[in-house]
Structure 1
Amino acid sequence: MYVCVCNAVTERHIVAAVRDGSTTLRHLRRDLGVTAECGRCARCAHDCLRAALAEHTSEPAATQPVFARPTFPLALEAI
């Protein structure tokens, strides 16, 4: 869906910007031009930004191992 018609910015652009480090509407304005022209997209852009941030923070980090080494009580490790 188009969020900013003036600059042809879609939800996908906002999700990509969040993945690249954008965390505020000011970042989106700087990087994508959102709200720079008429400003009618501000509320929708902010909503999309919040949703993208929530989705981005809930994804597991690629650098974190999925499976950790199991820990055993000290007595079992000695056996």
Structure 2
Amino acid sequence: MYVCLCKAITDSQIKQAADEGDGSFRAVRESLGVATVCGSCACEAKKLVKASARSSTEDQLLYQPA
């Protein structure tokens, strides 16, 4: 699904950027350019980055050796 229509950025691209090390909205914005034109996608993009970070944290907790 397209999140940023101005730059044609999808939710998958945002999640992938967040998973590959751009763990903050600022970093994702700088790498992809999301929310840099009209800004109407900023809230949704922030939610996706936050959800991706939460998912990564949960994965790390589940797969830590005992």
TM-score, scaled to structure 1: 0.70
Structure 2: any 5+ residue segments left out of the alignment? none
Deviation for aligned residue 1:21: 0.7
Matched AA of 1:5: L
List alignment gaps of at least 5 residues for structure 1: 69-79
Structure that is richer in helix per residue? 2
Which letter does structure 1 place at the counterpart of 2:37? E
Shift of 1:10: 1.1
State the match for 1:73 in structure 2.
none
Report deviation, 1:60. Answer: 3.6
Alignment of 1:28-39 (within 5 A): 28-39=28-39
What one-letter code is carried by the residue in structure 2 that aligns with 1:54? R
Q: Distance in 2 between matches of 1:64 and 1:34?
A: 33
**Map of 2:51 onto structure 1:** 51
Greater RCO, 1 or 2 (C-alpha within 8 Å, sep 6+)? 2
How many angstroms does 1:64 deviate by? Answer: 5.0
Aligned residues: 65
Q: Give the TM-score normalised by the residue count of structure 2.
A: 0.82
